[in-house]
Structure 1
């Protein structure tokens, strides 16, 4: 019997680009001898019955060998782990990467070069920001222009370049209760960055992204992508970042420091892989499932003794 693989995705995302990658993952899993099942997160219904974690609905009795968790539904991921399932990536690593403020906090004190970062204070829903007395101190430390990032966001969206204190105050008030971080602008990397995809502790693929019109280099924001051969320093830096957040695989985005040194921008635990395939020809789905098989199974195909049931 083939080992079962549950591929979890967000059931509300149905774009062609997204679905193409889902079926790509499924086809790759089959080639590696797995029996994949594409499952929208809304169809896995987590429940606690009689004090035990369980599932309701169509997948109540579904017991795969592992879940390929290609979503950010942290509560569901934690629930599945509580039931004893192995997830790639883990709930913890997804949570750390999904919250930018958490990413910088976890990587702090580990020698990882990052932009100066200020985490915004908690503001409850329904309340308005009134006291902005901290703004001058923040601007004095970070300088202008500075970068405002909502803590949750993808594809370079929810990231803003702020030119003045007045603009910053206006943006903070418009954010309301949304969490955010403020960062110094790494001017030496304006409009360009490097995405390094790490799989199983190795730099598997890399591309340079460049924009002629925007401080953000993201392709979705109008940037162009080019094949890139990272330096040994950049590879080691990206691998180290992925290890610190506990990710089996991740897209690590690096900025260019004043002397060309790598500076962490952010880490993506559920990085899309079509763009980097189009750019470099490297099939990250293949690399990810090859890694999963090496973790769970011995060369003769038997289940490794220390792998979760």
Structure 2
């Protein structure tokens, strides 16, 4: 069973990557690091199982671990779509990564199809957004964050309209390079949230991240992990979100509201530090074995002619 880890070989020092590679080495897993930027994207009706990576010619893998791109652009997205089109199991798929990478899109997808999952009211900041308008829509404090941030970066708590006006002016006047959103603050969840880990779209485990020194619970900001068994309703909600966003292996994070309510916070494509990685690779193999034979393999095996 051959797998690829899509990652720039010069950027392998991320803690999640280090953890994955230790498990790979210890269990003799056939996982090759391949730079997605070097993969040539070719769409060919007569595909023969060969993929061109720089000057190399490689056989199509059985699966790819694709959750740790350092570059997300049209090319890397096309790489994933090409691999999916020839029957490669992608963890996670192009659609999944697109859905969870965009925090606003995550909520829009959920609002469209899952009535029972609540989430913080969210506003996209544009040149037309004024602090006065926001104050009519939200109570203070509120949360302001970059759309595609991670590890708690680019997230601030805003307490007054004046403070918000200054932040909006700065964000719209500078080349931030990312969209900005404003969200309702779920005060009861300050400094803590619930992460539900999913494997093959199903509940695997859960834990609370909590931080006594910041409203941000992220481990990168000093948060700690406390094991937790969520209510059945939350597990069911997480699995519905996974289906909606096409998450195979990943997590769905919830905020704690008043009176035992929960709000969807965000979703993630395979946060490596949260997984039992040995079980993850075992499940990958099971998924590959259960996949239907791709058309190109059937054509080559049966010697079929194209029209």
Q: TM-score with structure 1 length normalisation?
A: 0.81
In the aligned structure 1, how far is the partner of 2:194 from the partner of 2:39? 38
Output aligned runs, 1:172-191, within 5 Å: 172-175=168-171, 176-177=174-175, 178-191=178-191
- Segments of structure 2 that go 5 or more residues without pairing to the other structure are 298-307
1: distance between equivalents of 2:282 and 2:229? Answer: 22
Q: Superposition pairs for residues 151-300 of structure 1, below 5 Å?
A: 151-175=147-171, 176-177=174-175, 178-273=178-273, 276=274, 283-297=275-289
The corresponding residue for 2:107 is 104
Aligned residue pair count: 281
Following the alignment from structure 2 to structure 1, what is the Cα–Cα distance between the partners of residues 198 and 240? 10
How far 1:5 sits from its partner (Å)?
A: 0.6
Correspondence 1:66 to 2:70? no
Q: Kindly provide the CA deviation profile for residues 121-179 of structure 1, in whole angstroms up to 9, marking residues without a partner as x.
A: 3xxxxxxx5x55x3322222221110011011111111111112222222223333520
1:15 aligned residue: 13
1: CA distance between counterparts of 2:62 and 2:137?
A: 50
Moved more, 144-153 or 134-143: 134-143
| Structure 1, unpaired ranges of 5+ | 122-128, 277-282, 299-303
- Counterpart secondary structure, 1:108: helix
**Quick one: distance in 2 between partners of 1:101 and 1:16?**
26
Corresponding residue of 2:4: 6
Are the structure 2 counterparts of residues 104 and 11 from structure 1 closer, same or farther at C-alpha, using a change threshold of 3 Å?
Answer: farther
2:23 is equivalent to residue 36 of structure 1:
no
State the TM-score, normalized to the length of structure 2.
0.81
Give the 3 Å change call, closer, same or farther, for CA 288–106 of structure 1 in structure 2: same
Q: 1:226 to 1:20 in 2, by over 3 A?
A: same
Q: Is the 8 A contact 2:211 2:223 kept in 1?
A: yes
In the aligned structure 2, how far is the partner of 1:74 from the partner of 1:52? 27
2:81, 2:57 → 1: CA distance?
Answer: 15
Q: CA RMSD in A?
A: 2.7
Q: Runs ≥4 in structure 1, deviation > 6 angstroms?
A: 49-54
